Amino acid sequence: MAVVESGARLGAGVRIGPFCHVSADAVLGDNVELVSHVSVLGATDIGEGCKVFPQAVLGAAPQNLKHRGTRTTLTIGRNTTIREGVTMHVGSDTNHGATSVGENGYFMAYSHVAHDCIIGNNVTLANGAMLAGHCEIGDNVVIGGLTAVHQFARIGNNAFLSGCSAIPGDVIPFGFARGNLAKLRGLNVIGMRRSGMSKSDIQLVRQAYRTIFDRSRTMAENLEIARRDFAGSPVAMSLVEFLSKRGTRYFVTPPLDDAGDDGTDGDD
């Protein structure tokens, strides 16, 4: 009962369940499984070993009123799991024209990836999490259920966005953001440990966090101090470089009443 249009390219071991629709411009890598009732539309390339559950719609036209309808793409990296009702759109022709999802992702039911998003590897979106257009999500990011990320926001590597949060701007690498509108609540220490970071590197990131968000000086001054003091630490410098590239962009900061919170969890 599935429909696979002429021109679609299917790798070895692909399994397509009942009531699926695969477009003529789609590419399914080796061992991809579409469980049932999956729509793969447009120029969508699904990498090896991905599994897609019922009612997911991948590669639909972008929800962008300026899109003129020319060919744009969606690419999904290998070994990604896409659960029920997930939507991912192709890019828009008013931007770079491509939506890109990295490898080993886990997209839980009814999460959404909008046009022109760029998503890294090992990213998890919990149920109902939503990315607006043009977001950039780093590696190992976890986004909690029902959390919404504003268009053009950048989320740094290893960040954790708590559930039911509204993320209005950039979140630093390793940051832990929560609330409506979200504020930084320290660092994602648990995620840092799980990623294999050493205790010394975690402590350096904590020290850099304190320096960068010291309210006794301007942000520009803090970044210059951090650039000097942490020049030998690539992980700490990732925070400095991330914020140095922000230009006039909005970014998420700690609340006024706990600007010194560095994610300490009792294991200093």
Q: Catalytic residues, which ones?
A: 115-116, 133
Rounded CA separation 174/192 (Å): 7
Q: Can you tell me whether residue 27 is helix, strand or coil?
A: strand
Rounded CA separation 169/76 (Å): 25
Calculate the alpha carbon distances from 51 to 3, 4, 75, 76, 128 in Å: 18, 17, 14, 11, 19
Rounded CA separation 196/80 (Å): 22
Between 199-212 and 219-229, two packed helices, what is the crossing angle to 10 degrees? Answer: 150
Q: Sign of the C-alpha dihedral, residues 216, 217, 223, 226?
A: negative
Closest CA to 101 of 58, 162, 61, 62: 58
CB of 84 within 8 A of CB of 59?
Answer: no
